[in-house]
Structure 1
Amino acid sequence: MNATTTTTDIPGRGLATRERQPILHFLDLVAAEWIKHRSLRSTWIAYGTTALAVVGFNAGIAYDTYSHWTLQVSKDRTSFASDGIALQQAFSANAALLMTLALGVIGALTIIGEYSTGTIRTTFAAVPARRSVMAAKAVVVTVVTTVFGAFVAGVSFAVTQAILDGRDAGVSISAPGAFRVVLASALLAPVCALAGLAFGAVIRYTASAVITSVVVILVLPLVLTDDRHWSAVAQHALPYPAWLRLVEVGDSPTLFPWTTGGAWTVYAVWACAACAIAVTSVHRRDQ
């Protein structure tokens, strides 16, 4: 009698097992991408340097206000908090520009580093499902940079308002518009990082991808103006101007104002479009 192996088909279990396998496989890919992301010392140096610079910018502006408080006229001092100046110093425009630049470059280097070293060939040889690999990489970048943005925005708010409290000019997180400032500043990090990841996945060359990230994320918002309708529409469609709208207190002073809902939409569209570009760009290419 020949030995045979039989398989008992339990109703419903086979289908459930087949449905769980793709999910477990994708979680394995996410874990692998996380290991690659955290294993590079340069990545954490970049995050740490950016965090210190951003918090330092914001704290420096708040301290300058604190140290020169007596030079301000009494009317300006009484309207400091009500006019939203305290919230403007919670996360300054210069700090936001620095963070957009740094996170865009970090996002681009996340994928370009593998192309420059050739390790991407090993990755795709081990996992032929390239789109799944890029989706896992996008998940890791999104989670890490969101945590980074939340940490930097939260620390900046706490430090700046603690400094301003020395002049009774600070505000709490429950103040009108305060939570929106912190949330918009935190989410600016993953939006810019995903945009950089998309540029890196499409261009694949370090210099070109970094320059593209700098031009699109940083330079274009400074070149476009809001005194013409077409230019204002193009400017409003970029992440940094969307952040500027979200951190404004009161009505927008521009000729072509827009809503905070439109600014949140810009965030969502950029993040989703960047993920889609990064995932689909590797499907039909040589490596």
Structure 2
Amino acid sequence: MTTTTTPPLPLTAATEPRPRFVDLVAAEWIKLRSLRSTPWALLITTLAVVAFNVGEAYDTYRYWSAEEADEAGHRARFIRDGIPLQEAFTTNATMVLLLAAGAFGALAIVGEHRSGLIRTTFTAVPARRSLMAAKALVVAAVTAALGALVAGTSFWLTQAILSGKGAGVSLGHPGAWRVVVASALLAPVAALAGLALGALLRHPGSAVVAAFVLLVLLPGVLSDDRHWSAVAGHTTPYQAWLRLVETGAPATPFPWTTGGAWLVLALWPPLAAAVAVLAADRRDV
């Protein structure tokens, strides 16, 4: 008598184990960091944002007159008016960070659609929601690190420059931590908004332009002169950042609280990520 052995059956889609979420995160991280443009985009953004802030502080240092340097009262007024914190992270630097982070998030998904890699990805991982959630988490983590780097470096360098005239402040100064944290949060907020727009539009030019309109142009159009316009403007990340970094009472006919501004920055990331997940799940490739 002879015995025969039955070869093992190949794994099919029904029997193949579902990928763990941590595996999806690792795969998305590998895809993102393997792109040649990723380190260059992060480096150029960091240098540009820090340069805008340092340049503003250096101009103050350079044109500080000898009479002002000898006057202790002038330095006290300079600090009391919150100018060191205003120069720690300027509006120009904020615009650059919003645009760069928004474009980074949009291209993280649009690039896959343009190259056709997204079809392979969805074929390998049919669980689109989990896949897009992993991509959103990776984009948020990378840009959060970017935001922390540019905000912390900008604060340290600008205050070091201003300290040459005795006008720098430390992180323990009232409002300093608020400026640093609010500025750092702008990067992941803008990146996830860009990711959501990229998942909806699936075209690089359209997604980047939409990110510019949503993050930069719209907050400037919505003025504080009318109640509805002021309330709508308060829901944008840029105006939330302005509220958090300003010193003194808000000079607006429709003021709002710092708690409301923090809430705006806290709600944008999960809402944008949800839009990106649903857009990928409900639309054909």
Question: TM over 0.5: same fold?
Answer: yes
Structure 2 contact 222–233 (Cα < 8 Å) conserved: yes
Q: What residue number does 1:167 align with?
A: 165
Secondary structure of 1:286's counterpart equals coil
CA shift, 1:182, in A, is 0.2
Q: What residue number does 1:69 align with?
A: 64
Unaligned runs of at least 5 residues, structure 1: 5-20
Between 1:161-170 and 1:40-49, the stretch displaced more is 40-49
Aligned residues: percent identity?
60
Map Cα deviations across residues 144-182 of structure 1 (whole Å, 9 max, x no partner). 110110010000000000000000000000100000100
**C-alpha distance in 2 between matches for 1:189 and 1:224:** 22
Between 1:153-162 and 1:207-216, the stretch displaced more is 207-216
The 5 Å alignment of 1:75-114 reads: 76-114=74-112
Q: What residue number does 2:27 align with?
A: 32
Q: TM-score, normalised by structure 1?
A: 0.90
1:263 aligned onto 2:253: no
Structure 2 contact 75–166 (Cα < 8 Å) conserved: no
Q: Which runs of 4+ in 1 moved over 4 A?
A: 71-76
Going from structure 1 to structure 2, the CA distance change for 1:124 and 1:187 (only over 3 Å counts) comes to same
CA shift, 1:104, in A, is 0.4
Structure 1 vs Structure 2 CA RMSD:
1.8
| Alignment-mate amino acid for residue 20 of structure 2 | H
| Alignment-mate amino acid for residue 54 of structure 1 | V
Between 1:202-211 and 1:70-79, the stretch displaced more is 70-79
**C-alpha distance in 2 between matches for 1:254 and 1:38:** 44
**C-alpha distance in 2 between matches for 1:67 and 1:208:** 42
Q: What residue number does 1:53 align with?
A: 48
| Alignment-mate amino acid for residue 179 of structure 2 | V
Pick from 218, 227, 251 the counterpart of residue 216 of structure 2. Answer: 218
**C-alpha distance in 1 between matches for 2:277 and 2:162:** 45
Map Cα deviations across residues 102-160 of structure 1 (whole Å, 9 max, x no partner). 10011000000000000000000000000111000001011111011001000000000
1:154 aligned onto 2:145: no
CA shift, 1:202, in A, is 0.8
- How many correspondences in the alignment? 270
CA shift, 1:40, in A, is 0.8
Going from structure 1 to structure 2, the CA distance change for 1:247 and 1:3 (only over 3 Å counts) comes to farther
Q: What residue number does 1:7 align with?
A: none
**C-alpha distance in 1 between matches for 2:193 and 2:67:** 41
The 5 Å alignment of 1:130-149 reads: 130-149=128-147
Going from structure 1 to structure 2, the CA distance change for 1:72 and 1:33 (only over 3 Å counts) comes to farther
CA shift, 1:224, in A, is 1.4
